[in-house]
Structure 1
Amino acid sequence: MKLTALLALCLSLVLSAFAQDRNRIAGTILNNSTGQPVPNASVFINGTSKGTVSRSDGGFELTGINKGSFELVVSSVGFQTLVLQLSSDTLPIAIELRLQPRMQELESVTVMPWERGSWKKYGRTFIEGFIGTSAAAQDCEIRNKKALRFRYASKAKVLEVMADEPLIIENKALGYRITYQLEGFTRNWKLRTVVFTGYSFFEELQGNPQKQQEWKEKRKQVYKGSLMHFIRSLYNDRLSQDSFEVRRLRKVPNVEKLRIQKLNEMEKQHKIVQGGRISFPTQGKVQKDSLNYFQQILKQDDSLALIGKYLLNADSLITTGIDSTKTIFFQDYLQVVYRKAQEEKEYLYDYRIFRPAGFQKSLIRLTPALPIVIQRSGLFFPPQNVFTIDYWGWSEKVSHMLPWDYQPDRL
């Protein structure tokens, strides 16, 4: 009996080692210009806590890679970031990677110059759009702010930000040290949008058992209702069980606002002035000659939302391919309500919403309107094609960012 148990244990260890070896990437990083090894280059799987640094001979090794598609990121100061799209189906592999010196890229830049030392002028705007304004954001710090450079186009009202080296961000609210390779940040005041792209690597901060437990609870709190939670729930067909309500939403022009604006223009041109105020035509039995009504309509959005009556399930959004790949596609918008957590008070303050906190309500849109691939981890490709509005538009920032290999305890 003991011999059988021992054989079973040995077999288990062999199989485990075999699986580790199969999910393995080994390689060498070289300078493309000189052919020399690049030591101390960061090699990591984007958005996870799995990574390493190249040795003095440029060699590296990553093991225990999870199933699915992923981005392998290689970055080093003075070189352009290299990103490879890989799949666990192709593992194990041994590869030679060549990094292009960044100087060649900088010499080709002849457009409006970047500003250094502009943190006082643009730092707060960048922090609010990148780190966020949540309660967790108050405990986040960028350790190398001097690496940031800014460029503002006053006519277009667009702020762009880049970094000379990976940003080192300490999130003491969630217990992570994040190395973020910022590829681009744009704040457009005319379009009222913030877009940033980059590659992230997570390391856990050190803390006593009490602090570790505190971080564990805060991570779970941030995870609940997040975009990651929603994609995982959608993938596993658990929307209802996980308290997500999903409906289709279509935006249509606000015809009444357009009518009021037209009347306003007519007044400015002195075409319908009666005693110094606008006289509105009647609609039905309601006399719309109130200045208050006029002002209220002009405060409305340019479009109105038509929300679907019926809840959607995963089957109505997901298509499964022959190779078991899952994709989602929808027209217009999806409205996603998470009914197990309420909005943060900071969200209400930032959006000037004067009411008690309600359930977290977000909009999601595909731009362009093309299918995206989703994975069990919550990862989706391409990430830049997913545009979030309302609660997720506010919350999905670096201060709430979790690694794709994060797994909460039972919710």
Structure 2
Amino acid sequence: MKLTALLASLCLVLSAFSQERNRILGTVSNAVTGVRIPNASVFINGTSRGSISKADGSFELNDIPKGTYELVVSSVGYQTIVFPFSSDSLPMMLHMKLDAKAEELEAVTVIPFEKNGWRKWGRVFTENFIGTSAAAKDCTIKNTKTLKFRYSASRKTLEVTADEPLIIENKALGYRITYQLEGFLHSWKERSVVFVGYSLFEDLSENKKDIPSKWIKRRKAAYTGSLMHFVRSLYNNRLAENNFEVRRLIKVPNLEKQRVRKIYELEKKQQLKEGGRISFELKSSSANKDSVGYFQGILMQEDSLALISRTTLTADSILTTGADSTKTLFFPNYLQIISKGLPEEKEFLYHFRIFREPAWQRSLIMLTPLAPVVIEKSGLMFPPQNILSSEYWGWSEKISHMLPLDYQP
């Protein structure tokens, strides 16, 4: 009995020591006046670890898992501070000094914000930020009035900002997400959507140790085959074991479409001069290469064609491990990632008006700019905005499927 009690006491001491070591203490104050700032948000980006500064501006974060993270400190009316750190440097004592945020003046040369922005652009923003997945139907932004919309007709872009962190309830996965939106840009010309921000996750379940089984099941479904799952598999050299099939892909110009388009444009100009509708000349039979049906089919193709390698890649062919054990990802052009055995959501097919049975999830990633990206065991990437995803991940990697970095299936 004495030995058991001694071992139990030792475990308690070791646990307390571990918590003491894996923590951050600090204060938040005004950079000019030095006055402490209460109720400032202090959290580790992309995780469920967060706190609020007390009346005296002090804060404390405990039980920080091993890895490299970003500590985010923000308060209404102040500029956000982002402090990168490694758990190897813990414990830490930080004094965070926030600068007041300058008022944004809408000069004549600047495109003004829309007066009824949410009514006009709310659906476009929601579909491209929250997503159109099955889970997205159960996601709600609770404070939409903080969103501001600016549309440029000449550039065909939609810019969205927020005066305060967005509060998002994801009842599909069981999370309340505080998302500090730093920028959102939808470009119709580039056919791209980019948004950046900092997130803090909180379980909707009252009892964190007894999460409803429906949320556990849905979280695992959202994780399996995701970009986070892929990065973790890549880091641990378990691509094949986790059913990821990776190949190199390059895109080349669709020369035949360019040829057909030139003929079409010439025909169009000629018909505008003479009047009448456009019709392609048939050189011989209806089966001729330059028949009307052939031209129409070519014009519906993409501007570029994909050339895919037959060889599947292993982690060590695209990862480099440094002397300090840091792992960096680098590759030219594109990587095609297939999640074997995982069918596409029917909502994905509906969104893109694809009329076929669901196939395996197929995604593309590219580095922009073409520079190495550091990856972490948690699934984190630095800098995250340098990985551009398209096809399935371009559709699925939205807020409705987002999981915290400290999630474990």
TM-score by shorter chain over 0.5: yes
Can you list the C-alpha shifts for 1:338-386, whole angstroms capped at 9, x where unaligned?
0132111110011111100011100011100111011111011000000
Residues 100-154 of structure 1: CA distance to partner in whole angstroms, max 9, x if unpaired? Answer: 112x252597722223442110000000110000011010111100000010001
Q: In the alignment, what sits opposite 1:343? A: 344
Distance 1:332 1:58, change over 3 A: same
Amino acid at match of 2:227: L
Residue 167 (str. 1) matches residue 166 (str. 2): yes
* In structure 1, C-alpha distance between the alignment counterparts of 2:294 and 2:190, rounded to whole Å: 27
**Are the aligned partners of 1:170 and 1:176 in contact in 2 as well (CA < 8 Å)?**
yes
Match of 2:222 in 1: 222
Structure-2 separation of matches of 1:14 and 1:112: 60
Contact 1:117 1:149 (8 Å CA) reproduced: no
> Taking structure 1 as reference, are residues 255 and 179 closer, same or farther at Cα in structure 2, changes over 3 Å only?
same
- The 3-state SS of whatever aligns with 1:125 is helix
Percent same amino acid at aligned positions? Answer: 58
**1:196 match:** 195
With over 3 angstroms needed to count, the CA separation of the structure-2 counterparts of 1:236 and 1:70, relative to structure 1, is: same
8 Å CA contact 1:225–1:340 kept in 2: the answer is no
What amino acid is the match of 1:87?
S
Q: Report if the CA contact (8 A) 1:27-1:97 is conserved.
A: yes
Give the letter for the 2:104 counterpart. Answer: L
1:67 CA displacement: 1.2
Task: Tell me the equivalent position of 1:151.
Answer: 150
Secondary structure of 1:106's counterpart equals coil
Structure 2: 5+ residue stretches without partners? none
Matched, 1:258 2:258: yes
- Structure 1 unaligned blocks of 5 or more: none
Q: Does the 8 Å CA contact 1:342/1:360 hold for their aligned counterparts?
A: yes
Q: Residue in 2 aligned with 1:106?
A: 104
Residue 237 and residue 182 in structure 1: after superposition, are their counterparts in 2 closer, same or farther (change >3 A)?
Answer: same
Give the secondary-structure state (helix, strand or coil) at the position aligned to 1:370. coil
> In the alignment, does 2:128 pair up with 1:129?
yes
Aligned to 1:311: 312
Q: Map residues 25-44 of structure 1 onto 2, 5 A cutoff.
A: 25-44=24-43
Cα distance in structure 1, aligned partners of 2:280 and 2:154: 34
Q: How many residues align?
A: 401
Q: Report the AA paired with residue 397 of structure 2.
A: E
Q: Does the residue aligned with 2:196 lie in a helix, a strand or coil?
A: strand
**Which residue matches 2:331?**
330
Does 1:278 find its partner at 2:291?
Answer: no
Backbone CA RMSD of aligned residues: 2.0
| Equivalent AA in structure 2 for residue 278 of structure 1 | F
1:190 CA displacement:
0.7
Partners of 2:268 and 2:278 within 8 A in 1:
no
For residue 88 of structure 1, report the CA deviation from its aligned partner. 1.0
Q: Please say if 1:287 is aligned against 2:288.
A: yes
Contact 1:116/1:148 (<8 A) preserved: no
Q: Show CA shifts across 1:172-206 (max 9, x none).
A: 11100000000000010111101000000000003
Contact 1:117 1:146 in 2 (8 A): no
Change (3 A) 1:64 1:56: same
User: 1:317, CA displacement in angstroms?
Assistant: 1.1
TM-score computed with the length of structure 1 as normaliser: 0.93
Cα distance in structure 2, aligned partners of 1:108 and 1:81: 22
